[in-house]
């Protein structure tokens, strides 16, 4: 109708031109004041449902393979469902795994933030650096959950953040019992697996796939996400390599300074002072550069790794959607088969009525399964449309801020190094001028060796 505005395509912001990803409205940093993205999950007075979480005070418990780390979780919230505005609990990594699993199971279609990967080697070593890296990653995970428009209202998050030791121990015991029971072979699960295998085989033979029932724009987004995951993983790998090379260069510079100092000891003239200056400045630059490399690992490499983990979470959500569509397609196929069977029975003369009645019940059951499968699939589709658009906006903003901070840090590092080397040059020239005045040489003249 005239005057009505058409609704935007559901994946419009996801399918936007890649060149526009880095044009977010975040403020541009000035050289004297670096840009920092606002902390996620922070409490604002004008947000009655906000939740702010802090992961603090990691404490190592036990030794060897049985060792683990506990973290203090401090929550400040104005959410009406919480019993108190401020609370503190102690949790370990397996408890975070419980929260992640529950959120994933009960929120199909949502992009649940990623947990840091498990590492048996690093866990056994349990270094301070590993513990701090895990604390930061868990902080990011909880902050993203607490700021998620759907997940922040989950009962599982509230239970994780507020339960006392007794209630939490009971919940963990219940979860472990459920996990053990789920490992036992289940007949229904086996039947579903065989049905899925049969459905996949039929699709391969017929040359058809479930993509024919999918939205064309969504398929483009899915392919884009899969390609993005590959490039993000490679970007993180190269960032880690860059920091490693930077650290190696710092070590080489420091060793070169010591070598120059030793070389200067063989010269009793003014050159010895120049070598001493070179040693001191090299050590100074190496120390400050090593500190910058450590900061870069936390502010650039770690966020890139987090983005790569998040992409895998998006792919998990897409896999849930594909599974739901497959189940819907299978349910429709089963229903069609039951309808054909019913039609044949009705056309068979002299057949007992109870067989027809049983076939009619099977058709009704099949129709119920189709409705349930369609409801599940439609629910995931509706939620994913919002989730993918939100994910892409956040990713563009985060990546833009990350690149600006990285460029600014590199510019500041280059400026600091230039000032340090310039100061060294001025010092050496001053020494040479002084030596030239004593020996009759001009400014900047290097004294000849005796």
Domain ranges of the chain: 35-168, 210-444
Cα–Cα distance between 265 and 90 in angstroms, integer?
Answer: 58
Q: Identify which of 119, 108, 203 has the alpha carbon closest to the alpha carbon of residue 151.
A: 108
Q: Which two tokens stand for residue 20?
A: 């526009």
CB distance 51 to 146 below 8 Å: yes
Going by pLDDT thresholds of 50, 70 and 90, the confidence category of residue 431 is: confident
> Backbone phi, then psi, for 277, in 5-degree steps?
-65, -45
Helix (H, G, I), strand (E, B) or coil at 427: helix
Q: What angle do CA 408, 414, 419 make, to 5 degrees?
A: 125
In order of 39, 47, 84, the CA distances from 80 in angstroms are 22, 11, 9
The region of weakest confidence among 39-53, 315-329, 337-351 is 39-53
Q: Which CATH architecture has domain 210-444?
A: Up-down Bundle (1.20)
The 10 Å CB-count burial string (b at 16+, else e) for 20-34 is: eeeebebeeeeeeee
pLDDT, average across residues 20-41 = 38
Q: Identify which of 256, 246, 336, 379 has the alpha carbon closest to the alpha carbon of residue 300.
A: 246
Q: Residue 230 has what pLDDT?
A: 92
Quickly list DSSP for 302-348.
Answer: HHHHHHHHHHHHHHHHHHHHHHHHHHHHHHHHHHHHHHHHHHHHHTS
More confident site: 18 or 75: 75
The 10 Å CB-count burial string (b at 16+, else e) for 207-239 is: eeebeeeeeeebeebbeebeebbeebbebbeeb
Environment class of 164 (CB within 10 Å of its CB; exposed 0-12, middle 13-18, buried 19+): exposed
Q: What is the pLDDT of residues 190-238, one digit of tens each?
A: 555 455 555 444 444 444 556 777 888 899 999 999 999 999 999 999 9
pLDDT, average across residues 276-304 = 87
pLDDT, average across residues 330-342 = 94
Angle between helix axes 128-147 and 302-346 (nearest 10 degrees) is 50
Q: Identify which of 212, 215, 239, 388 has the alpha carbon closest to the alpha carbon of residue 306.
A: 239
What is the separation of C-alpha 297 from the centre of its chain, rounded to a whole number of angstroms?
Answer: 15
Q: Residue 30 has what pLDDT?
A: 36
Q: Which two tokens stand for residue 290?
A: 């090593």
More confident site: 82 or 264: 82
* Overall pTM > 0.85: no
pLDDT, average across residues 92-96 = 94
More confident site: 10 or 71: 71
% of the chain surpassing 90 pLDDT: 47
92 pairs with which residues across the strands? Answer: 70
Q: What is the pLDDT of residues 380-422, one digit of tens each?
A: 999 999 999 999 999 999 999 999 999 998 999 889 888 888 8
Cα–Cα distance between 295 and 289 in angstroms, integer?
Answer: 10
With a CB cutoff of 8 Å and minimum separation 6, the contacts of 141 are 96, 100, 113, 114, 115, 116
Name the helix (H) or strand (E) containing 73: strand 68-77
% of the chain surpassing 70 pLDDT: 77
Q: Residue 267 has what pLDDT?
A: 73
pLDDT, average across residues 181-189 = 55
Gyration radius (Cα) of the chain, Å: 32
Going by pLDDT thresholds of 50, 70 and 90, the confidence category of residue 176 is: confident
The region of weakest confidence among 1-10, 281-290, 382-391, 414-423 is 1-10
pLDDT, average across residues 252-267 = 83
Top-ranked range on mean pLDDT: pick from 37-41, 246-250, 426-430: 246-250
Q: Residue 256 has what pLDDT?
A: 86
DSSP code for 68: E
Class in CATH terms, 35-168 = alpha beta
């Amino acid at each position: 109708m005239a005057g009505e505005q058409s609704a935007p395509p559901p994946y419009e912001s996801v399918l936007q031109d890649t060149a526009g990803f880095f044009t977010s409205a975040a403020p541009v940093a000035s050289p004297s004041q670096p840009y920092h993205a606002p902390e996620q999950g922070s409490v604002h007075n004008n947000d009655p449902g906000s939740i702010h979480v802090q992961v603090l005070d990691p404490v190592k418990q036990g030794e060897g393979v049985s060792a683990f780390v506990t973290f203090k979780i401090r929550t400040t919230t104005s959410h009406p469902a919480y019993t108190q505005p401020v609370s503190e609990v102690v949790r370990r990594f397996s408890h975070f795994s419980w929260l992640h699993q529950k959120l994933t199971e009960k929120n199909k279609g949502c992009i649940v933030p990623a947990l840091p990967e498990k590492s048996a080697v690093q866990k056994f070593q349990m270094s301070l650096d590993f513990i701090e890296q895990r604390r930061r990653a868990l902080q990011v995970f909880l902050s993203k959950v607490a700021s998620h428009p759907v997940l922040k209202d989950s009962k599982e998050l509230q239970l994780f953040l507020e339960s006392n030791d007794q209630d939490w121990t009971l919940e963990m015991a219940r979860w472990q019992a459920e996990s053990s029971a789920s490992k036992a072979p289940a007949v229904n699960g086996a039947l579903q697996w065989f049905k899925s295998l049969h459905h996949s085989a039929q699709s391969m033979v017929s040359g058809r796939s479930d993509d024919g029932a999918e939205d064309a724009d969504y398929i483009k987004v899915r392919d884009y996400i899969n390609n993005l995951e590959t490039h993000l993983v490679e970007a993180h790998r190269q960032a880690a390599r860059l920091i490693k090379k930077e650290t190696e260069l710092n070590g080489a510079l420091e060793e070169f300074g010591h070598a120059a100092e030793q070389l200067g000891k063989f010269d009793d003239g003014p050159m010895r002072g120049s070598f001493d200056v070179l040693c001191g400045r090299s050590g100074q630059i190496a120390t400050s550069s090593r500190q910058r490399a450590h900061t870069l690992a936390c502010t650039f490499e770690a966020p890139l790794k987090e983005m790569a983990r998040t992409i895998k979470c998006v792919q998990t959500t897409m896999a849930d959607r594909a599974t739901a569509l497959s189940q819907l397609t299978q349910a429709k196929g089963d229903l069609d088969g039951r309808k054909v069977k019913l039609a044949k029975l009705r056309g068979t003369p002299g057949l007992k009525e109870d067989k027809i009645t049983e076939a009619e019940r099977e058709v009704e059951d099949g129709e119920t399964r189709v409705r349930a499968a369609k409801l599940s699939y439609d629910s995931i589709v509706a939620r994913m449309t919002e989730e993918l658009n939100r994910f892409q906006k956040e990713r563009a903003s985060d990546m833009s801020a990350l690149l600006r901070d990285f460029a600014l840090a590199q510019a500041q590092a280059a400026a600091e190094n230039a000032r340090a080397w310039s100061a060294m040059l001025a010092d050496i020239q001053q020494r040479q001028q002084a030596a030239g005045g004593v020996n009759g040489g001009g400014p900047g003249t290097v004294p000849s060796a005796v």
